[in-house]
Amino acid sequence: MAQAKAAVIRSDLDIVIARTLARDTAKALGFGAIDQARIATAVSELARNIFLYAGSGSVTVREIEKSGRKGIEIVCEDQGPGIANLDLAMQDGFTTSRGMGMGLPGAKRLMDQFEVKTKEGEGTTITCSKWRA
Amino acid sequence: MNSLRIPILKIGDVLIASIQIALHDASAVQFKDDLLQKIHDTKARGVIIDLTAIDVVDSFIGRMIADIAAMSGLMGARVVLTGLQPAVAITLVELGLELTGVLTALNLEKGLAVMQRQTDQAEESSDGTG
Ligand SMILES: Nc1ncnc2c1ncn2[C@@H]1O[C@H](COP(=O)(O)OP(=O)(O)OP(=O)(O)O)[C@@H](O)[C@H]1O
Ligand SMILES: [Mg+2]
């Protein structure tokens, strides 16, 4: 299995680097153009949240396989403030930054699996994946 | 870091901007400011933003486009988006961004035609009242 690749998120330029890494990996794994766009867009949202709310963190992309099926897994990790109310944060339109509140719910819709682990004062880890058709 | 500016061309009373680079947040904000300033300076009646080369429109860029459309409208200029890739259009809707009220056209040429029609209609209706 291919090695995981990581992008450090420290600035808005790193958001572009992270989503390009995700797209390139998805393409190499044989995902079609629409799935590549879905994956890159989800990573863009999650990486921006890291930059905006935690200041810094990382995005790790790797290939996964389950009963002969190939997929991509993305782990977005930060040691920021954590998400105070996750149920609320997952709702369309909820924002604490005058954003559109589309990032988390939108990224969830774009991926097949989406899991958030967060603790106030400790940080947030979002693991999401998508399987190849 | 100094970001690359997106060139904005003027043809008649239409401004045309073709985004050829992956936009990071700062360059997107810069583009919005540049474009609105140029609409003001040139009194343009229309703006075409060509996204043929763009492969990701996330909530940030989506909001920027919606903002540009709303603010341009207030200044009397219509916005037409051209060249939206199918994958980008699908992803936008799934993300939850509908970009309602923003005109779109398949490519630059069709975008100019849409713009022309809009301008003609505006002129006809203002003739009618005269
Ligand atoms: N990594 C994170 N650390 C701390 N808080 C977060 C993190 N990610 C999201 N949040 C919180 O969850 C809220 C919802 O996030 P979401 O991405 O859905 O919307 P947004 O960032 O506010 O707006 P948009 O993404 O549409 O521009 C944020 O406003 C923020 O309060
Ligand atoms: Mg967000």
| Residue list, CB under 5 A from ion ligand 2 | A 49, 103
Tens digits of per-residue pLDDT, B55-68? 999 999 999 999 99
Cβ of A116 less than 6 Å from ligand 1: no
Residue of B24, B51, B59, B88 to mutate, testing the A interface (most A Cβ within 10 Å of its Cβ): B59
Query: Is a pLDDT exceeding 90 seen at residue B89?
Result: yes
Query: Is a pLDDT exceeding 50 seen at residue B40?
Result: yes
Q: What is the pLDDT of residue B1?
A: 47
Cβ of A91 less than 6 Å from ligand 1: no
SS3 category, A13: helix
CB B32 within 8 A of CB B38: no
Fold of domain B8-126: Transcription Regulator spoIIAA (3.30.750)
Kindly list the domain boundaries of chain A, sorted by start residue: 5-131
Fold of domain A5-131: Heat Shock Protein 90 (3.30.565)
CB A110 within 8 A of CB A82: no
Strand partners, A113: A129
Mean pLDDT across B74-80: 94
Strand partners, A123: A119
Kindly list the domain boundaries of chain B, sorted by start residue: 8-126
Residues of B with CB below 8 A from A100's CB? 59, 62-63, 97
B46 phi/psi in degrees, rounded to 5: -150, 155
Task: Match 């005058």 to its residue by tokens.
Answer: A98
Tens digits of per-residue pLDDT, B92-121? 999 998 888 789 999 999 999 998 888 778
What is the separation of C-alpha B80 from the centre of its chain, rounded to a whole number of angstroms?
5
Q: What is the pLDDT of residue B100?
A: 80
Q: What is the dihedral of CA A111, A59, A73, B98, to 10 degrees?
A: 10
Mean pLDDT over the full length of chain B:
90
Query: Is a pLDDT exceeding 90 seen at residue B3?
Result: no
Q: What is the pLDDT of residue B45?
A: 94
Query: Is a pLDDT exceeding 50 seen at residue B130?
Result: no
Mean pLDDT across B30-56: 95
Q: What is the pLDDT of residue B128?
A: 54
Length of chain A measured in residues? 133
Report pTM.
Answer: 0.93
Residue of A34, A48, A90, A112 to mutate, testing the B interface (most B Cβ within 10 Å of its Cβ): A34
Mean pLDDT across B21-45: 94
Q: Which residues of chain A have pLDDT under 50?
A: none
Note whether A106 contacts B: Cβ–Cβ < 8 A.
yes
Q: What is the pLDDT of residue B122?
A: 75
Q: What is the dihedral of CA B10, B11, B16, B20, to 10 degrees?
A: -90
CB B83 within 8 A of CB B20: no
Rounded Cα gap, residues B26 and B49, in angstroms: 18
Q: What is the pLDDT of residue B116?
A: 86
Q: What is the pLDDT of residue B127?
A: 67
Rounded Cα gap, residues B47 and B44, in angstroms: 7
Residues of B with CB below 8 A from A103's CB? 58-59
> Cα-atom radius of gyration of chain A, to the nearest Å?
14
